[in-house]
């Protein structure tokens, strides 16, 4: 965790229009020095637009950006301080790995030996010291992305921007590179922004995640906060898997779902209000026999989906509970001998239920 809480990048009321389309709408955000931040959201949510505005590649329509105490809002790209890595790697195809990494250093007119040392050090750091004289087309996708990363870091920028850097790679390379980027960040302490639509990537890499939708920030928080305490139904649905149950607050602490009643924290939602009660599939408890706990229901198993390390059960209960998912360990499924058509008793622990007012 970065210890510095100094604000490195401050975005104030940033707005970006593309003709009639509002890509980013009045967005404000502060990023601390040395933080690893993920912009996470579905495609078209404005996360890449925001990144490109920070870089100056697609300047914002309005709003200010302050980097390291300096207002950079109207600076051209070449006068800003950042390194960038794209999904397409964007390595210069006619230059060798060495020449690609040295490209930015040569612009600084550094002495030859210094450039050589920096390039070899960086390629050492990303584990590619042998590939120095190869051309990008001769490298694998993962290797190319490492070269792109070295090239972006070569000039020691104050800010590293990663635009979906892992999306073009296959799953195995992706997860190893995820760890490497994270370790690199830990090593160098460079303030980093990663744009991704992959929640797993964001949850595993970020210090803080900025969840975006329709050009606005839905929630900013640590991965744990975002996952366990989503601020909106959108975040709840977008991060991880979530069950939604529609009901009405009848009295403080009670929500009625058709003929059943659930005990939960109704927060400040007044009575008679329609709400959505949510619970993660792994928080649903399954029992073979009837137990004396609040929020228990009898349900039928519709189908099972085997997902490697666990089973996902598609279950159907009384009215209002027709479409639920519950994740169970392989062991439990076998011990309780759960098959399609099995009948189960499930428990929805009140402290695991989150409730959101229904948007009319």
Residues at the contact surface with other proteins, assessed by CB under 8 A: 13, 15, 17-22, 55-57, 59-64, 73-80, 82-84, 86, 88-90, 92-95, 103-104, 107-108, 135-138, 151-152, 154-155, 157
Minimum separation from the CB atom of position 167 to other proteins (A): 14
Q: How far is the CB of 58 from other proteins (least distance, A)?
A: 10
CB nearer to other proteins: give 17 or 352.
17
At its nearest, how many Å lie between other proteins and the CB of residue 151?
Answer: 7
Q: Is 32 exposed, middle or buried (0-12, 13-18, 19+ CB in 10 A)?
A: middle
Give 41 or 83: the residue with its C-beta nearer to other proteins: 83
Q: Name which of 165 and 233 has its Cβ closer to other proteins.
A: 165
∠ CA(294), CA(300), CA(305), 5° rounding? 110
Give me the helices (H) in the chain, please.
47-55, 97-107, 112-125, 141-154, 171-188, 199-205, 223-228, 233-238, 330-335
Q: What is the DSSP string of 49-118?
A: HHHHHHHTSS--SEEEEEETTEE-TT--GGGS--EEEETT----TTS-HHHHHHHHHHHTT--HHHHHHH
CB of 327 to other proteins, least distance (A): 36
CB of 92 to other proteins, least distance (A): 5
Choose between 63 and 349: whose C-beta lies nearer to other proteins.
63
Residue whose structure tokens are 């949850």? 203
Nearer to other proteins, 80 or 276 (CB): 80
CB nearer to other proteins: pick between 19 and 111: 19
Q: Cβ atoms within 10 A of the Cβ of 176, count?
A: 11
Q: How far apart are CA 74 and CA 56, in angstroms?
A: 8
DSSP bridge partners of 327: 312
In angstroms, what is the minimal distance from the CB of 152 to other proteins?
A: 7
Strand partners for 161: 84, 193
CB of 137 to other proteins, least distance (A): 5
151 vs 185, beta carbon nearer other proteins: 151
The least distance separating other proteins from the CB of residue 207, rounded to whole angstroms, comes to 23
Q: How many CA atoms lie within 13 A of 10 on its CB side?
A: 10
d(CA 298, CA 317): 6
Q: Select 49 or 199, whichever has its Cβ closest to other proteins.
A: 49
CA distances to 7, 37, 158 from 24, rounded to whole Å, are 22, 18, 24
């Amino acid at each position: 965790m970065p210890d510095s809480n100094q604000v490195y990048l401050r975005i104030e009321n940033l707005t970006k229009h593309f003709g009639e389309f509002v890509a980013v709408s009045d967005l404000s955000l502060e990023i601390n020095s040395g933080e690893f931040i993920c912009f996470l959201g579905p495609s078209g949510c404005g996360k890449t637009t925001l990144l490109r505005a920070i870089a100056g590649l697609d300047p914002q329509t309005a709003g200010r950006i302050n980097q390291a105490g300096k207002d950079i809002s109207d600076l051209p790209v070449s006068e800003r301080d950042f390194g960038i890595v794209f999904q397409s790697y964007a390595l210069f195809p006619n230059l060798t790995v060495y020449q690609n990494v040295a490209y930015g250093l040569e612009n600084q007119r550094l002495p030859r030996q210094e450039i050589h040392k920096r390039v070899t050090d960086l390629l050492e750091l990303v584990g590619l010291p042998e590939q120095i004289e190869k051309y990008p087309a001769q490298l694998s996708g993962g290797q190319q992305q490492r070269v792109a990363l070295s090239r972006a870091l070569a000039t020691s920028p104050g800010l590293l921007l990663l635009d979906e850097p892992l999306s073009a790679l296959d799953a195995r390379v992706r997860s190893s590179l995820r760890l490497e980027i994270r370790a690199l960040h830990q090593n160098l302490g460079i303030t980093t922004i990663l744009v991704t639509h992959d929640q797993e990537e964001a949850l595993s890499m970020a210090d803080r995640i900025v969840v975006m939708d329709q050009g606005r920030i839905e929630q900013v928080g640590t991965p744990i906060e975002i996952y366990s305490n989503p601020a909106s139904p959108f975040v709840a649905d977008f991060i991880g898997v979530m069950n939604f149950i529609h009901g009405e607050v009848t009295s403080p602490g009670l929500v009625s779902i058709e003929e059943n009643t659930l005990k939960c924290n109704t927060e400040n939602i007044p009575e008679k209000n329609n709400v959505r009660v949510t619970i993660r599939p792994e928080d649903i408890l399954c029992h073979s026999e009837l137990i004396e706990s609040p929020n228990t229901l009898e349900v039928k198993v519709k189908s099972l989906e085997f997902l490697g390390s666990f089973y996902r059960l598609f279950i159907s209960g009384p009215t209002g509970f027709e479409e639920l998912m519950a994740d169970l360990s392989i062991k439990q499924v076998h011990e309780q001998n759960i098959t399609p058509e099995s009948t189960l008793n499930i428990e929805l622990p009140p402290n695991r239920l989150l409730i959101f007012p229904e948007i009319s």
